[in-house]
Structure 1
Amino acid sequence: MMDYSSICYKNNFLNQVIVRVDFFHFIQTNMVFDEIIEKEILKIFPRRGKDQIIRFNSINVVLDPKNNNLQNANNEIAEGIQREYFTNDGGNKLILSNKFIIFEINNYVRFEVHRQWFQTIMLALFQKNRISATRTGIRYINIFDTSRIKLQKKFFTSEVASSLHINLVEEDMPRLIRSMHMAEYRIDEMTMNFRYGMFNPEYPNFLKKNDFVLDFDFFSNEIIDSSDVILQLLNKGHDEIQSLFEQSITDSLREVMAFEQVS
């Protein structure tokens, strides 16, 4: 895989980056919202929102009395909390609950900056609790809004550009309401889904604008019990997503985004 780490754009169309980690076990409320963990969160997300009471399916794993080598998972309902935290400008959000943690980055700077956020908070969370993650993922959503750019097929490689309809004719029947495609990749034991096309923010209404999306979702369903391994997976996901993004666009779009080399 080529190294794209030195690539940066003055103008990008990155709408949102999402990092999500799902926990195998239900973590008790006093443990997941421990003072030490919240202290690290508030350094980055100083605005704390209201608590929301959530009922979760809590899995208790027990040994089968007839065979100690087998395990049964019993579902029970557990009541917990979901709490939101925001940066001062309100542009970025962290959602923490007894069963998952989600980072929603809407004002993206650079991966190196946000990686430090993930590392600091995940380390505090794992140091205080014995956690096993059942799913870990990172997702980049790029939206090419026609209010910002006049879309052209030459901006994308031929396969991606095939789902872009430049001229929308309202009289045509049947009327187009969405044109989305997906390619799925296996990378070692991880998965990357690449969705691209005209996503239609007003779906299922008729498609009125040819807004275009490049949506990359990289994740693993492997059991992970270390914050270091989670960070390694996020690093891997970022690199794979950046590589596929660069393989999906052309120099014509790079000129629009004002490509620059970062030293």
Structure 2
Amino acid sequence: MYEDVCYKKPNLAEVVVRVDFVSPISALEKNIPERLAKDLSTDFPIAEPSDVIGRELQIRPDGLTTKETHAKQWNFFGKERDKQLTLTTTAVFVSYKKYTKYEDMKREFSSTVEAIARVYPNVQTRRFGLRYVNRIERGSGYNPLDWSDIIVSTLLGVKDFFEAPEQLIRLFHIAELNTGDINILFQFGLPNPDYPALIKRPVFILDMDSYVQIAHDIYESLQYMDQAHEQIQKLFEASITDKLREQMNA
């Protein structure tokens, strides 16, 4: 239904696609194979590995102890640093600050998955996730509590419950949906960047985080990615009005 929808100016603060592995890839704790690094650098040419320190609380007969672990985090960035690929022993994810279109992200993530699978053919995934964070901001001349022209009224209805909505310092909602294999965590409302002060700045969030928590082959994550994107797009389109669509295509 929304296959051809692609807005010129989406209100996206961040888009993240991620897979978590069933078992850690221990070989990545200190080194990354040259072949894998080269393949990942095709779309993310700036490589900047970093050291990660973890602390694990252990319970022993003589009391509690803390075990410290050290590992590498393999970071790759786009030329403009508006996208980042991160590979660790337990997960891989790509984060976009500047989003173009779904097909571009799908191609880059597919290349990432294929590169990992070529080097580690037995890798399995325990979780897949795709998240779109829409941050809609308006100028100071707008009423920070009135979004009825661009967000559907059914999503805003709870505001009318309060006798003095101008006293609100935050109005944020959480809903979770089960659509079969895919769940969606939907967070929306007025986060108030100035909390705990009164809401003064017009900011509205539509945060849609879809995920699959079923063990599967890493290649299957690409199929789940299409399904998750379809569910998110459907939910987003149901949340907004034609006026916002016009603004994003202006």
Please give the range of the TM-score, normalised by the shorter of the 2 chains.
0.7 to 0.9
- Give the aligned residue type for 2:89: N
* SS of the residue 1:7 aligns to: coil
Taking structure 2 as the reference length, the TM-score comes to 0.83
Q: 1:240: how far off?
A: 0.8
2:63 aligned partner = none
The unaligned stretches of length 5 or more in structure 1 are 58-75
1:169-184 correspondence runs (5 A): 175-184=167-176
Deviates more, 1:183-192 or 1:133-142: 183-192
Correspondence list, 1:154-193, <5 A: 154-162=149-157, 175-193=167-185
Partner of 1:119: 110
SS in structure 1 opposite 2:6?
A: strand
What SS class does the counterpart of residue 162 from structure 1 fall into?
helix
Contact 1:54/1:82, CA 8 A, preserved across alignment: no
Aligned match of 2:10: 12
Matches within 5 A, 1:44-193: 44-55=43-54, 79-129=70-120, 130-147=122-139, 150=142, 152-162=147-157, 175-193=167-185
Hey, what does 1:26 align to over in structure 2?
A: 24
Query: 2-side partners of 1:203 and 1:33: how far apart?
Result: 43
Give me the CA root mean square deviation. 2.6
Distance 1:48 1:163 in 2: 47
* TM-score calculated relative to the size of structure 1: 0.79
Identity of aligned residues (%): 28
The structural deviation recorded for 1:93 is: 0.8
In the TM superposition, what is the alpha-carbon distance from 1:127 to its structure 2 partner? 2.3
Q: Evaluate the alpha carbon distance shift between residue 80 and residue 149 of structure 1 in structure 2; reply closer, same or farther with a 3 A threshold.
A: farther
1:195 aligned to 183, 187, 197, which one? 187
Equivalent in the alignment of 1:242: 233
Task: Tell me if structure 1 keeps the 8 A contact 2:139–2:202.
Answer: no
**Unaligned residue ranges in structure 2 (runs of 5+):** 57-66
Distance of 2:28 and 2:114 partners within structure 1: 17
Counterpart CA distance in 2 for 1:149 and 1:194 is: 28
- 1:82–1:96 contact (8 Å) kept in structure 2: yes
Q: What amino acid is aligned across from residue 216 of structure 2 in structure 1?
A: I
* Alpha-carbon distance between aligned partners in 2 of 1:148 and 1:131, rounded to the nearest angstrom: 50
Q: Against the structure 1 CA distance between its residues 183 and 252, is the aligned structure 2 distance closer, same or farther, given a 3 Å change threshold? A: same
